[in-house]
Amino acid sequence: MTATYPLRTIGARELDAWARMVTTTYGQDWHEGALRNAASSIEPERTIAAYDGEEIVGGASIYGRIMTVPGAATPVAGITLVAVLPTHRRRGILTAMMRKQLTDLYESDGEPIAALNAAEAAIYGRFGYGIASHVAEIRADKRFMALRPGIDFGDGTIRLLDRQKARPLLEQVYDTARRGAVGWVDRTEKFWQARLADGERVRDGGTALRFAVHLEPGGEAGGYAFYRSKPGSVHVIEVAATTGQSYAALWRFLIDLDAHAGLTYDGAMDEPLKHLLTDPRAARATVIDNLWVRLVDVGRALAARRYSTPLDLVLEVQDTFCPWNAGRHHLRADGESVTCERTRARADLRLTAAELGAAYLGGTTLSSLAAAGRVEGLRGGAVTAASLAFRGEREPFHPSGWAFPAF
C-alpha cells in the first residue's frame, strides 16, 4: 500500500461506492440493476480499493478462471475492472494496486499466472505483463466471400434456436472446443450470463442475439455461432466448433445471410476462415493486442505448460516488480515431464518477466523478441531452441474479455 492511499479488500457495504467509482472512471452511466449485477459478478474477497480518507478513489478485481495453455490447463487470475478516478491519477495508486495483487497471489500460492485485456497498450508492460496473443478484427464484404469448391461441409444441418434451447448446446460445444484452444477459459454460469448479455444498451444499435447451432445427423451439436444484425451488416460475436465440417458449415450460413453486405468478426490470428475463401482478401483483418500475460511465479508457471520440443535450458530472469522471480531457473521439458527449478548454473538465455509472459501461450516468439533486442542469447542456438519449444500448434486467442457489462 501507499502511505497516502491505503489499499484493502472492499466490504459488503462498500460495493455501491466501489462500483460508482468504476463507472465514473470508465465514463459510463449508472443503469437500473447495476448494483445487483455487480454484486453477483465480482468476487469481493478478491476486489481491492484505494482510499483517500473514507472515499474510494481506485480499485481492481480478480476473476479466478481455468485457462487452456499449450498442452495443459492451469488456473489464471483474470485481472479486471482496474480503475483510478481522474482526480487521483499519477499518484502511484495503480502501481500500488498492481503490486498488491501480484504479491498477494504469490504469497498465498494462488494462480501462477495473471492475465488481462488492456484498455491502453502502454500501461501494463511496466508491471511485467507481455503481449501473449493478438486478435484479428475481420471486416468483410460478403458479396465477395465466395467459398472454395470442394469444401467438406459434412452432413449436418444449421438450426436457429431460441436462447433457452440453444444455451445447453452452446455450453457443450464450448467446453469441448476450449480444451484444445490455447487462451480460452472455462465459463461458469455467471460468465455465460455475461457473454450472452443482450440488453438494449449492449446491442449498440443491433438486433437481439441470434443463435445458429450446427447439428450432426445424430442430433448432437458440433458447433455454434451467435450474432447480431445491424443496418447493412452482420456482427458475428462468437464461433465455436468441434470439427472442421461444422466450422465450414457455420461460416457458409453466416456468409449466405440475406440483406446484409457487411460482416464483422473478431477472431484468431490464424483464423481458418480465410482458407475457406477463393479470395482471402475478401476478409481483411486489422491486428491488435489481445491478451496480456504476467508470470506471478516463474517456476510454477513454466512447469504448468508443455513444450513442442525437448528443452534443457537455464533462464536468467530479470524482474524488478516481482523480485522473488529474479534469478536463474533451470527449465527441463520432455513430453509430459516438465520441471523448472532454481539453479546457480550458467545461464543460456537472459530476459525479463515480460518477455516470458509474451511467449507463454506460444504465440509471440522468443526469436522475434530477440530480434528486437528484448531477449539475449548467452549460448549459441539457445534462442532458436527455446523459441521452437515455446511455440504452440495454433496461435493463442482469447475470445472474450474478463469484465462484465455489469454497470
Determine whether the annotation assigns residue 90 to a binding site.
yes
Nearest Cα to Cα of residue 133 among 350, 287, 328, 331: 287
- Residue reference for cell 494462480: 111
93-102: b or e for each residue (b if 16 or more CB lie within 10 Å)? Answer: bbebbbbbbb
- How far is the CA of 308 from the CAs of 174, 181, 341, 389, in angstroms? 25, 15, 20, 5
Rounded Cα gap, residues 110 and 76, in angstroms: 9
Can you point out the beta strands (E) in 167-279? 210-215, 221-230, 233-241, 262-267
Can you name the residues that pair with 326 across neighbouring β-strands? Answer: none
Determine whether the annotation assigns residue 383 to a binding site.
no
C-alpha cell at 11: 466490504
Q: Looking at the annotation, which residues are catalytic?
A: 124, 407
Rounded Cα gap, residues 270 and 256, in angstroms: 23
Question: What's the order of all strands across the beta sheet hosting 233-241?
Answer: 7-9, 47-52, 55-69, 72-84, 113-116, 283-295, 130-141, 262-267, 233-241, 221-230, 210-215, 157-161
Determine whether the annotation assigns residue 83 to a binding site.
yes
Contact partners, residue 361, CB within 8 Å, separation at least 6: 69, 70, 132, 133, 182, 183, 291, 293, 392, 396
Rounded Cα gap, residues 223 and 405, in angstroms: 25
Determine whether the annotation assigns residue 244 to a binding site.
no
Strand, coil or helix: what is 26?
A: helix
Rounded Cα gap, residues 180 and 175, in angstroms: 10
Determine whether the annotation assigns residue 95 to a binding site.
yes
CB distance 311 to 145 below 8 Å: no
- How far is the CA of 45 from the CAs of 15, 236, 245, in angstroms? 11, 35, 44
Contact partners, residue 102, CB within 8 Å, separation at least 6: 114, 127, 128, 294, 296, 321, 322
Determine whether the annotation assigns residue 82 to a binding site.
yes
- The whole-angstrom distance between residue 35's C-alpha and the CA centroid of its chain comes to 25
For residue 404, count CB atoms less than 10 angstroms from its CB and return exposed for 0-12, middle for 13-18, buried for 19 or more. Answer: buried
Determine whether the annotation assigns residue 236 to a binding site.
no
C-alpha cell at 207: 438486433
- Which residues sit in the known binding site for acetyl-CoA? 82-84, 90-95
Binding site membership: which residues?
82-84, 90-95
